[in-house]
Amino acid sequence: MTYKVEFAPSGLSVTVSKGITVLDAARLAGADLDSTCGGRGLCGRCQIVPTNTAALTGWASTEEEYTGRRPILDGQRLGCAAQVCGNLKVEIPAASQVHKQVVRKSVDVGNIEIDPLVRLHYIELEKAELGSDLRGLTEQIAERLSMTYGVTMSRLATHVLPLIAPAAKRGNNTITVAVRHGHEVCAVYPGYVDQAFGIAVDVGSTTIAGHLVDLSTGEIRATNGVMNPQIRFGDDLMSRVSYVMMNPGGEIELTRSVRTALDEMVGTLVAEAGIDRDVVLDMTIVGNPIMHHIILGIDPTPLGQAPFLLATDSAVVTSAAALDIDARFCEVYFLPCIAGHVGADTAGAILAEGPHRSDALQLLVDVGTNAEIVFGNSAHVLAASSPTGPAFEGAQISAGMRATAGAIERVRIDRDTLEPRVKVIGSDLWSDDPGFDAETRSLDISGICGSGIIEVMGELYLSGLIDVDGTVRSDGPSKTSRVFAHGRTFSYRLFGDADEPAANINVTQDDVRAIQLAKAALRAGIDLLCEHAGKTDPNKIGSVRLAGAFGAHIDPLYAKVIGLVPDVPVAKVASVGNAAGAGAVRALVSASQRAEIEETVRRVHKIETATEPRFQDLFVNAMGFPHTTEPTPNLATETTLPVAQAKPEGAGDRQRTGRRRRPT
């Protein structure tokens, strides 16, 4: 007898013989039903929801005795045990689908289909006896993969070959093999193993962030971030290239230091998850071109001078062992670079945020030591980089510091009294809240991190204490005791009340200039791309996305106040976190995502800011707060902007005073 089996939500159906399992019926129909144990009732991944239980046989012993990690939920059956005995409709829940939709923590990867390049398959080998006519273990594995899973093995990695017999012995003739790219056996384990892991890494010039991901579910199981040890060779990328140029063998030191950090990060991640390094089977890495080259052991000096030639702009695949990372079964995939100063990290951000998938124009900015800018939509995508330097991350700022406990991260200045209030990392209270002193007593409040630097600059401008041209006004001391003379310029005391000014946290004229230079470089790059795209009206931009570890914490309003981004309505400006890392995760869990980004980067139009004559003009115009020449009508509706004030006596002519009020 034959029966019709229909599967939801796919709508696929198949006619099968009585007694066939639902799992086998799903395979015949092409329905998306997961199983890693080969239908032996071990993994619990093939659970289905029958709409007509009478069309299935009763509970099998496999289900009664099941003790796997994933419990059988009420109303569900194991597809590998339940047999068809009537016309049947079954629902395959999301948790039982191979290509599941996923939204996970730490990095927002969006909704994608899980389609990892490595899958696990459980195999029962025949017991060898003297005189038995059995083929070799490799050949038996190939036969079982073909018969049970429909996998045609093209090769078995040579480093796996000597491990098969010991694994089979320890597993009592049962093993689990990992198959990469659908045809290559790359790892072997004794007995039944149902979890494989990958690691997605974003190697920034300042920090390295890693995410340990369950390849079958897309779940991020552990996250770790460390400082890039290369900082001791220079704060920014060009200083590290200079180190290599000036010190023979310097590139070896840089490579060794970052590879050591990567290996230590792997150890930290697996320890946090309570797993072994041997189950880490895949790794994706993104980074700027110089980091990309240094990790691979490629001389980065060609990237330090025109024409900024990449060793390769294609994706690179190698082994973890080749990078001195202790993960013997792991393959490493480097996303492709785009141009000499636009790297795999930008490719990852593009993959995550998808300007190439959007009809509306998207401006994507990864704010960091070297800012990467992407502008466009599905019709045309442009990319460039701007040398912002490390000021946004606290370097070159007198009281700048990393974003650690005790760092000032939020700032507000009262428009009438000009008194500040701050928030610090490690406390939810503002400094004028009751209990702030008690709650922060154990914190060392000793500096300002990137988001705080952006906000204090914006607040000083909105309060009228610094001019459009970035000058700390000399008449400030007559308005508040917090402004004081500092050599030939003036500074603002943000936090602390020590008699000695140096003991407090101050914002100096040099600090303002450092931020002006950084933000002008970034804004000039943005304006240059907009000009090349023929879209200079901010209202034509559909969205602005601020990415990167620093960009994730920028208040969009203050990004507009200091002129970091064009005068797009603030509702269209959003911080999207570590987009490069999110792209690395997407490439880790999906083969189609790798193919998508490799195809996309070939269509990106690269703009080299260093050779563009317009860049310098745009840079000069972008020095002002918010901008020297561009009007900001949208910003004027979103906050109260100061009007131009007359220069203090002896400083030239400027109209005096007051603030424009927000229109009502």
Question: Domain containing 63 — which CATH number?
Answer: 3.10.20.30
Residue 466 identity (one-letter amino acid): I
Give the mean model confidence (pLDDT) for residues 103-109.
53
Confidence bin at 230 (pLDDT 50/70/90): confident
Which of 128, 158, 190 marks a domain boundary? 190
| Domain CATH for 360 | 3.30.420.40
Q: Is the pLDDT of residue 308 over 80?
A: yes
Residues 440 and 582 in one domain: no
288 found inside a domain: no
Residues 540 and 632 in one domain: yes
Domain-ending residue, one of 453, 484, 514: 514
51 domain residue, yes or no: yes
pLDDT for the residue numbered 656: 35
Give the pLDDT of residue 650. Answer: 55
Whole-number pLDDT of residue 490: 97
What average pLDDT does the segment 47-68 reach?
Answer: 92
Pick 555 or 552 by higher pLDDT: 555
Mean pLDDT, all residues of the chain: 90
User: What percentage of the chain carries pLDDT values higher than 70?
Assistant: 95
Q: Supply the pLDDT for residue 552.
A: 73
Last residue of a domain, one of 96, 129, 156: 96
State how far the Cα of 300 lies from the Cα of 83, in Å rounded to an integer.
61
Structural domain boundaries enclosing 454: 392-514
Residue 522 has pLDDT above 60, yes or no: yes
Q: Which residues contact 503 (CB under 8 A, 6 or more apart)?
A: 496
pLDDT digits (tens, 9 = 90+) for 501-516: 888 999 999 999 999 9
What's the burial of 133, exposed, middle or buried (CB within 10 Å: 0-12/13-18/19+)?
A: exposed
Can you give the pLDDT at residue 625? 96
Q: Are residues 12 and 58 in the same domain?
A: yes
Reported as a pLDDT band with limits 50, 70 and 90, residue 9 is confident
Q: Which CATH number covers residue 165?
A: 3.10.20.880
Q: Which residue has the higher pLDDT, 90 or 95?
A: 90
Return the pLDDT at 473.
96
- Residue 578 predicted with pLDDT over 50: yes
- My answer on whether 548 and 592 are in the same domain is yes
The pLDDT of residue 99 is 64
Indicate whether 568 belongs to any domain.
yes
pLDDT tier, 659 (very low <50, low <70, confident <90, very high otherwise): very low
What does the pLDDT average to over 10-18? 92
Domains held by the chain: number: 4
Q: Is residue 366 part of a domain?
A: yes
Of 345, 383, 388, the residue nearest 608 (C-alpha): 383
Same domain, 397 and 385: no
Residues 19 and 75 in one domain: yes
> Does 289 fall in a domain?
no
Please check the confidence at residue 584 and state whether its pLDDT lies above 80: yes
Output the pLDDT for position 421: 97
- State the pLDDT at residue 479: 96
Within this chain, do residues 397 and 510 fall inside the same structural domain, yes or no? Answer: yes
Residues forming beta bridges with residue 483, ordered by sequence position:
492
pLDDT computed for residue 105 by the predictor: 38
Least confident of 34-43, 194-203, 536-545: 34-43
**Among 118-132, 147-161, 471-485, 627-641, which stretch is predicted with the lowest mean pLDDT?**
118-132
Q: Report percent pLDDT > 90 for the chain.
A: 69
Residues 29 and 55 in one domain: yes
Same domain, residue pair 370 and 466: no
Any domain includes 221 = no
Of the pLDDT bands very low, low, confident and very high (cuts 50, 70, 90), residue 313 is very high
Sign of CA dihedral 92, 97, 103, 109: negative
CA-based torsion, 316, 319, 320, 323: positive or negative: negative
| 592 and 523 housed in the same domain | yes
**In this structure, are residues 616 and 584 in contact, taking their beta carbons and an 8 Å threshold?**
no
Report cis status (omega within 30 of 0) of the bond before 626: yes
Say whether both 383 and 522 belong to one domain. yes
Provide the residue type at 374 as one letter: V
pLDDT tens-place string over residues 372-420: 999 999 999 999 998 887 778 776 788 988 777 899 999 999 999 999 9
Tell me what pLDDT residue 320 has. 97
Say if residue 345's pLDDT is above 80: yes
Question: Residue 267 burial by CB count (10 A; 0-12/13-18/19+): exposed, middle or buried?
Answer: middle
pLDDT at 651 over 80: no
Residue 576 counted as domain residue? yes
Residue 181 lies in a domain: yes
Q: What mean pLDDT is predicted for residues 37-63?
A: 90
When mean pLDDT is compared across 276-280, 317-321, 386-390, 649-653, the lowest value belongs to: 649-653
pLDDT confidence of residue 649: 66
For position 523, what pLDDT does the model report?
Answer: 96
CB 285 within 8 A of CB 330: no
pLDDT of residue 661: 39
495: pLDDT strictly greater than 90: yes
What's the whole-number mean pLDDT along residues 161-175? 95
pLDDT at 108: 67
Distance CA 111, CA 525 (A): 31
When pLDDT is averaged across residues 604-614 and rounded to a whole number, the result is 90
Which stretch, 92-101, 541-550, 649-658, has highest mean pLDDT?
541-550
State the average pLDDT over residues 531-540: 94
Do residues 89 and 47 share a domain?
Answer: yes
pLDDT of 663 reads: 39
Match 């009228």 to its residue by tokens: 464
